[in-house]
Structure 1
């Protein structure tokens, strides 16, 4: 986490001054929408190939190879890597790892067994899943599964929500709300 000033420089001070100068939340939200809209419009759009690679990464739940993505968009691996990182701020491989971890984390929170998650979601073995959880969350899979900040949301994660489906034989399901 960094201060807004570190990201936006002097523009952050101007934005804060504008937000402090108004009395109501409605006015603040109007100003925030205006500021964010201008900032988004000031940057060139993401290359269609990068957007496609990102959508494929999400739809595959992180189980996509960078070489395959590069072939799909008609670029070299190096060009995809460079463009992806410059436009999204992360390499395609790291993005895939994070997307795969996110999916695994929500399955853990929904009560699925770590060994099953590892086997069905592209991890070499349960130890590999354990290392990824430690790398990204600093926790064990068991601790991550009950982390309060990973409560399952019925709207955002309907397929993994304990309130949306019955438990399968041997599956540990609990309502985290």
Structure 2
């Protein structure tokens, strides 16, 4: 969870790098966020972004917001909808939570400090998580295996490990996580690699240690997920927000 307040003159223009989490943003400033995706442009005061295939551009003026990144396993309960419905999609939280979304926004605006805002947000997520749907234990286990291996697990063997058919696992995993296992593993591997790039490590070493065939393979993955080169992606400020609930 992170709080952001723009103190600069002029608009904010940020590229949002894909990561293996569902992102919630509650805008508390004067104006809406303008979100550009492959499907068009939206103006939103709060949003939920699913597991993305490519980067988003978010713009706004006098931006002040709370951002939360949710594990897909948690998002399934908190959002009250399947993450598959949010695959590469950005929607308003009002579409998901109805009248409670603007009420939550007002409470956050009135909070006296960022600590109070974070506490309110934590309480909200906990309440919704207690009453929302839960993922299958087999799906949760497979997701944890993918994340724990940093995307390098052989996804073809996951079904046998949970004693499910491949068809059943792929169907349930996509419905409850938002991506099929192979795509999820690719996203997790990319996320690990791009954070190492941001930390200043060399691309050749990252490629060799992260399961890429070579440095060109890493370059293609970064370009596919972000639309920019590894050197440019490594400078994105959004990579500093790492906590996933």
TM-score by length of 1: 0.71
Give the CA deviation at 1:94.
Answer: 1.9
Spell out structure 1 runs of 4+ moving beyond 4 A: 20-31
| Residue aligned with 2:212, SS | coil
2: CA distance, partners of 1:38 / 1:9: 16
TM-score by length of 2: 0.54
Aligned length: 153
Give the CA deviation at 1:63.
Answer: 0.6
| Residue aligned with 1:86, SS | helix
| 5+ long unaligned stretches in structure 1 | 157-177
2: CA distance, partners of 1:13 / 1:152: 25
Partner of 2:36: none
Give the CA deviation at 1:151.
Answer: 4.6
1: CA distance, partners of 2:237 / 2:109: 36
Give the CA deviation at 1:100.
Answer: 0.3
Partner of 2:192: 103
Note the 1:7-156 alignment, pairs <5 A.
7-16=96-105, 19=107, 24-25=112-113, 31-151=120-240
Partner of 1:163: none
Structure with higher strand content = 2
Contact 2:108–2:120 (CA under 8 A) maintained in structure 1: no
Distance 1:109 1:21, change over 3 A: closer
Structure with higher helix content = 1
Give the CA deviation at 1:23.
Answer: 5.9
The superposition leaves residues 27-67 of structure 1 with CA deviations (integer Å, 9 ceiling, x where unpaired) of 76565444322211222322111111111111111011221
Larger Cα Rg: Structure 1 or Structure 2? Answer: 1
Distance 1:9 1:90, change over 3 A: farther
| Residue aligned with 1:146, SS | coil
Between the two structures, name the one with larger relative contact order (CA 8 Å, sep ≥ 6): 2
The alignment's C-alpha RMSD in Å is: 2.8
Contact 1:81–1:91 (CA under 8 A) maintained in structure 2: yes
| 5+ long unaligned stretches in structure 2 | 1-48, 50-90
